[in-house]
Amino acid sequence: QVQLVESGGGSVQAGGSLRLSCEASGSIYRGAGMAWLRQAPGKERGGGAGIDGFGRTTYADSVKGRFTLSRENIKNTLYLQMNSLKPEDTAMYYCAVSSRMTWGASLATSDYAYWGQGTQVTVSS
């Protein structure tokens, strides 16, 4: 069983910053891939940023250069630093963890077995 506890969401004006955290506990595979994926109202879940078991990252084009993903393996914690936020970044952000070691970071929801409850990010213009 894997538990994911997310924090750091909130409301911010355009141009502002937020930092999301996700602490994972339980039976986590060493080197598991992790990601922050987002879902806006009426849209499919996806985008965001992912990191594989070796620390390699991938970002959706819409967030490249503005978001930075990092992980602290000792604490099994994933961070998403979001800068220069835009109204179109408004979404529910979900932390996700794969059930196996991954080679190559992924933004595909099908690659992740465990999900957090989500944390809302709202960016006003």
pLDDT in tens, 12-30: 999 999 999 999 999 888 8
* pLDDT band for position 73 (cuts 50, 70, 90): confident
pLDDT category at 43 given cuts 50, 70, 90 is very high
Of the listed ranges 28-32, 59-63, 77-81, the least confidently predicted one is 28-32
Q: Is the pLDDT of residue 102 over 80?
A: no
What is the distance between the alpha carbons of residues 30 and 100, in angstroms, rounded to a whole number? 8
**Helix residue ranges, H only, 18-88:** none
> 17: burial class by Cβ within 10 Å (0-12, 13-18, 19+)?
exposed
Q: SS in 3 state form for 99-118? A: EEECCCCCCCHHHCCEECCC
